[in-house]
Each structure stands twice: as structure tokens, then as C-alpha cells.
Amino acid sequence: MTNSLQPLFEAINQVKNERDLRSQVVPQIGEYFAALRSGVFFFDQLPLLDKKNHKTLEIALSIEHNPIARYLVERHSPVHEALVTSPKVWTMICPRPDHWHVMAGPIVSCGKLVGVFGCTREQSMPAFDTQNLADLSGICLHLSVWNATVRAAKLSGIELPYQPFKTNRLTPRELEIAELVALGRTNAEIGTELWITENSVKQALKRMFRKLEVSSRAQMVAQLSATKYEPSVKQSVSNLVLNGDR
């Protein structure tokens, strides 16, 4: 693939829920890979499926039955069927003609596989290759960060989309504190790094909350996701929600 992945990264970042992810972004990813079929699913949603589809997925995701599933569980890395088995064996594992070529990538959180993106091609289409795997690796990284951010926002009661972060409201020192908050630092750690007292950090955060019209670190970090701080924010939202305001 020679096309840029940036439009896909931006599309993933902008979507606000799993329904829109499936309807708006997944088709774009499938088109990028010239896939016949494409889809994304999360393991915690499997019980919501009807019994027929649930049974089919249980078989497809069985690490004893499916070497692609085993590869994803063990390595958390994109894979296509030619990496793990022969064409003859694959046709016995998955006889569907529209799944002659299959590529799947991991969605991970806290060191665990929590979901999968997959796409397929039929026999008349080219097989997936190493460049496809490399591209899917980048896409799955963004899907994993997106999943963690959106679910953390739900846990903290933050409504998406976020309001833009008004950096002109904050002083240079407050911006430094905001940057460290986005990295998941505690008040004590921020004070040590900036050579100020922990109480000074607390007072600064109170002022920042008033300026930004938020009531918690998590809400402030959510606003940062619309700005240049976005990469740091997406790594730290889950920690902020789990650890609370400190």
C-alpha cells in the first residue's frame, strides 16, 4: 500500500462511539485494504449477540480451532492466514469462499486482547502481504487508544465530543502543569518536577478548573484531547479514571 494512513488515523480519532466506528470508519479501513468484508468487534459485547452468531464467533475465536486467533492471543500482532497455516489446512478450518484470505489485528487494553479488527478477500483477489500487516499494525494501535479513551470517558461520565481546550486561558506555568497531568503525574510528582510545592499544584489546578469550567482532572484531560496534547491524553485517561483525582 502506498496510500497515506493519516486520513484513517484522523477518522478513528474523530469518531465518538462504537456504532459510528462500525458504520463510518470500518468501511474506510476495508476499502483501504481492498477487502471484500471487514469488521470490528469487542469481546465484552459477545453476550449481546444472538445465539447463532455467538456460537459462530466462539468457534472462530477458539485458539484450539483457529490458528489466527491463537496468534493474536499469544502475540498481540496482526496476522494473515498464510503466516500460520497452509492454504489446504486453511480451507478445512474456514471453507467460506469469501474468507479465502483473512487478515486480523488486535485491539488491546491493559496488556489484554479486548477486540479484533478483521478483513477478508476471496480466492480471486490477491493475498494479504507484509505491507498490509504493517499498515494494520498502525491502525490497530489507533483503535486500541481510541477504545481505551472512549471507554474511560464513559466511566467518568464525560460526554463526547469534547469542548476545545482554550490554551489562551492558561498561563505558561498552568500549561506546564496541564501537560504533566496529561502524562498521568500525581500532584506530588508535578510539584517535584516543577520545583514547586504540592499545595501550589493543588491551588493551580483549582484555578485551571475554574477557567476551563471543569470539575476534575479527567474532564480537563478530556478537553486536552482536542489539542496538541492529544497523544499524551489518550495514554493517561484510563489511569486518571482508575486512580482518581490526586
Tell me, which fold does domain 6-155 have in CATH?
Answer: Beta-Lactamase (3.30.450)
Is pLDDT above 80 for 136? Answer: yes
Q: Using 50, 70 and 90 to split pLDDT, how confident is the model at 59?
A: low
Sequence ranges of the domains in the chain: 6-155, 167-243
Average pLDDT over residues 67-78: 93
Percent of the chain at pLDDT exceeding 70: 76
Percent of the chain at pLDDT exceeding 90: 41
Closest CA to 176 of 199, 198, 204, 213: 204
Q: Using 50, 70 and 90 to split pLDDT, how confident is the model at 180?
A: confident
Average pLDDT over residues 11-15: 89
pLDDT 10s digits, 23-32: 989 999 999 9
β-strand 79-80 against 112-121: which pairing, if any? unpaired
Q: What does the pLDDT read at residue 165?
A: 45
Closest CA to 118 of 36, 209, 232: 36
> 35-39, 145-149, 217-221, 223-227: lowest mean pLDDT where?
223-227
Q: What does the pLDDT read at residue 41?
A: 85
CATH 1.10.10.10 fits 167-243, yes or no: yes
pLDDT 10s digits, 79-95: 999 999 999 999 988 88
Long-range contacts, 223-229 (Cβ 8 Å, 24+)? 223/162, 223/163, 223/164, 223/165, 224/165, 224/178, 224/182, 225/149, 225/162, 226/161, 226/162, 226/163, 226/164, 226/165, 227/164, 227/165, 227/167, 229/165, 229/178, 229/179, 229/182
Task: Let me know: does 194 contact 176? Beta carbons within 8 Å.
Answer: yes
> 15-19, 220-224, 239-243: lowest mean pLDDT where?
239-243
CA distances, 72 to each of 101, 106, 110, 117, 194 (Å) = 16, 6, 15, 11, 42
Is pLDDT above 70 for 143? Answer: yes
